[in-house]
Structure 1
């Protein structure tokens, strides 16, 4: 049986890898590690289809070490311990764990001793921030390498490489006239891109003209209803978020059900709810963030199928809540000011003055301790002089933030006269 196009094109050397030049290019840290044969334990963090598994395979093919591979989806503590026992008989062993963020604490702890003692060199791949998903003890013994999303140039290069170098496709007469549809549908995932190209080229004869229209027609006929790593994943999570933002609990619960039925990672769904609670609700209803955080904790403890009840409760609450994006706008405005004006000096009166020298330099001089004044408030200036009077936050037009508006205006008078 013929291997899929993505497997046929999987690079054997770092020089053949598209993208990730900051790690794999001449003088890159992974290039140096392979050349020296001294491979550190590492976590490869990046979006789907950017080369995490490929890099692990390249290391395995270019370093004298016994190579083991496990998937965190299907492997447990027993599998980890079996590999460790086998690795004890080897001079050098590398263990690659795909989707390591899906390992629970017990599974990760089973790795810790072997990594500490050098029995195995661990290479973990994850699409999630390892600071949140990997135990701190294990993370401290690994180097974290961040893989970047592939840009349009990288993806077009990959398509051209497939057409000219693949043993099957190079025998066909293929003209790649347009690439926008292939790139958009792939979501920047190289594996998905090659799978799409294979679907399109398999649907035609030995001569074909690839256009955006022909791609869309073919893909609409053959794509699965839900692909956790593909376009449907992003379309459905987009519909889910927009339904909650649009205050439609019926639609929100429907898209939640679609993700649950498709086997979506429960932590991914809960994490998106946490972000939305601040991004789209914020101070219009501060309880939204509390509930979203409690939901994240609860579904982590319970898992499927019971966690669908907790997710449903949270989704209905968030969709039915008052909405405000003022926190999002405020930090965006403030970040823009930081980029525009650079590192403005902290006003002297609100600087810290822990030493006599600093006090002699007037650090902290004139600072008014708010609690010493009526209503625990003093109308002193807190912004750098160059941006005094700049407005970053404006309360939204909802009941809770209208209260904040009145409160700030009462304190600051004209300064907060929104």
Structure 2
């Protein structure tokens, strides 16, 4: 492979910790990681930070700094079997540094395998995650690791990175690139060094060699819009894609639902996030028109958490198709929202005496629970009585949708008919 075929971020990957940009709080003079390395000490670590800030590179350079073997694994394609093989093959004399990218995607059994190896000193673990490790990493494993937060690169960091690239990379030097404006480069990079360098590489590939080329905002925007398929898990497209996914389910289109799900998975979205969104949709958009949808979505979430990628894509797909092809109703979603709004406006209304709990003699003497009619003492286990405060008598919050499964039961019809008759008599 020629040098120009190697992506620019890889061509410029730092070869020493001093070349890392934007993480001085960890690697600067007297910073914690710098002090540990100077003392020849490297504990197990979890790096938490956004994409493209150097988590993988720093892990590799830390291992080199203490002269330890470095083993890099991805949570996306490493199962428990492969993990145990790596641990078993680790040397008895030299403890390797095992780097796990996207460690938050490991399920409990995978994290437990790591925990045992860390406890016994078979490996030094360095995990990288874009998610809050407090929520995504096993507490027992987390307690045995130092957690360090890496920052997104700021505007000065991105500019320094680009200047370094133009100075060091031969391909860029041959294009005689001059940066006229940095604004668009910084904006599209969004704090991500990898994005910044890939974009610069794309722009340079559109230029001719041996002539002066000016990079301004217009050039950056044109190239970015034509070439970069961006997926920022914390940015606008993240919300656009999940919105399209949920709306496709709501609109009963399984093909579109699968497509948008695939886009999210390809972009690196956490499958647990997708499963959680389907669990919400199962209640909000399907509800009692098909109660099994909520059960299936709940089991989908538990299965995804237990299995992880890549196998959990099958479970996600099955659930998405089931939800998309199910009958739809938002009646309970509307009802609970109406109830919350009503509760907000009427929170001062007391509970009617006949509905109150009466655990003491004094409460009973004050009328708590008096005149309550126990439904099971009546035919069909039903008796007419009011359950709302008198001021809200006759209020309807729930209106069933008209579908085969969600229809007003005979009891609800009877109750509301009796209420109507009672109101007419008054």
TM-score (norm 1): 0.67
2:305 is aligned with 1:300: yes
Higher relative contact order (CA 8 A, sep 6+): 2
Q: Is the 8 A contact 2:69 2:97 kept in 1?
A: yes
Match for residue 217 of structure 2?
212
What is the alpha-carbon distance in structure 2 between the residues aligned to residue 308 and residue 232 of structure 1? 20
Deviation at 1:307, TM superposition (A): 1.9
Match for residue 236 of structure 1?
237
Q: Is the 8 A contact 2:107 2:305 kept in 1?
A: no
Residues 316 and 17 of structure 1: CA distance in aligned 2, closer, same or farther (over 3 Å): farther
Match for residue 330 of structure 1?
none
2:261 is aligned with 1:260: yes
Structure 1, gaps ≥5 residues long: 282-286, 325-396, 412-418
Q: Is the 8 A contact 1:243 1:249 kept in 2?
A: no
What is the alpha-carbon distance in structure 2 between the residues aligned to residue 120 and residue 51 of structure 1? 22
Deviates more, 1:108-117 or 1:251-260: 251-260
Q: Is the 8 A contact 2:102 2:130 kept in 1?
A: yes
Deviation at 1:14, TM superposition (A): 2.3
Match for residue 406 of structure 1?
345
What is the alpha-carbon distance in structure 2 between the residues aligned to residue 36 and residue 271 of structure 1? 45
Q: Is the 8 A contact 1:178 1:212 kept in 2?
A: yes
What is the alpha-carbon distance in structure 2 between the residues aligned to residue 85 and residue 38 of structure 1? 23
Q: Is the 8 A contact 1:295 1:310 kept in 2?
A: yes
Match for residue 167 of structure 2?
164
Deviation at 1:233, TM superposition (A): 8.6
What is the alpha-carbon distance in structure 2 between the residues aligned to residue 182 and residue 78 of structure 1? 43
Match for residue 377 of structure 2?
none
Match for residue 4 of structure 1?
7
Residues 314 and 18 of structure 1: CA distance in aligned 2, closer, same or farther (over 3 Å): farther
Residues 102 and 246 of structure 1: CA distance in aligned 2, closer, same or farther (over 3 Å): closer
Alignment of 1:1-400 (within 5 A): 1-2=2-3, 3-206=6-209, 207-224=212-229, 230=231, 234-240=235-241, 249-250=250-251, 256-262=257-263, 263-264=265-266, 265-270=270-275, 296-297=301-302, 299-301=304-306, 303-311=312-320, 399-400=338-339
Superposed CA deviations along residues 22-65 of structure 1, whole A, max 9, x for unmatched, are 11111111111111111000111111111100110111221121
Q: Is the 8 A contact 2:49 2:129 kept in 1?
A: yes
Count residues with an aligned counterpart.
330
Residues 233 and 408 of structure 1: CA distance in aligned 2, closer, same or farther (over 3 Å): closer
Deviation at 1:101, TM superposition (A): 1.7
Residues 184 and 322 of structure 1: CA distance in aligned 2, closer, same or farther (over 3 Å): farther
Secondary structure of the corresponding residue to residue 213 of structure 1: helix
Secondary structure of the corresponding residue to residue 304 of structure 1: helix
| Structure with max Cα Rg | 2
What is the alpha-carbon distance in structure 1 between the residues aligned to residue 133 and residue 299 of structure 2? 21
- CA RMSD, 1 decimal: 3.8
Residues 107 and 299 of structure 1: CA distance in aligned 2, closer, same or farther (over 3 Å): closer
Q: Is the 8 A contact 2:249 2:320 kept in 1?
A: no
Deviation at 1:218, TM superposition (A): 2.1
Deviation at 1:234, TM superposition (A): 4.2
Q: Is the 8 A contact 1:322 1:398 kept in 2?
A: no
Q: Is the 8 A contact 1:248 1:320 kept in 2?
A: no
Deviation at 1:141, TM superposition (A): 1.1
Secondary structure of the corresponding residue to residue 314 of structure 2: coil
Residues 267 and 200 of structure 1: CA distance in aligned 2, closer, same or farther (over 3 Å): same
Deviation at 1:133, TM superposition (A): 2.2
Residues 196 and 105 of structure 1: CA distance in aligned 2, closer, same or farther (over 3 Å): same
What is the alpha-carbon distance in structure 1 between the residues aligned to residue 345 and residue 295 of structure 2? 25
Deviation at 1:244, TM superposition (A): 8.5
TM-score (norm 2): 0.66
Deviation at 1:275, TM superposition (A): 9.8
Deviation at 1:191, TM superposition (A): 0.8
Deviation at 1:146, TM superposition (A): 1.2
Deviation at 1:256, TM superposition (A): 4.7
Structure 2, gaps ≥5 residues long: 286-290, 351-426
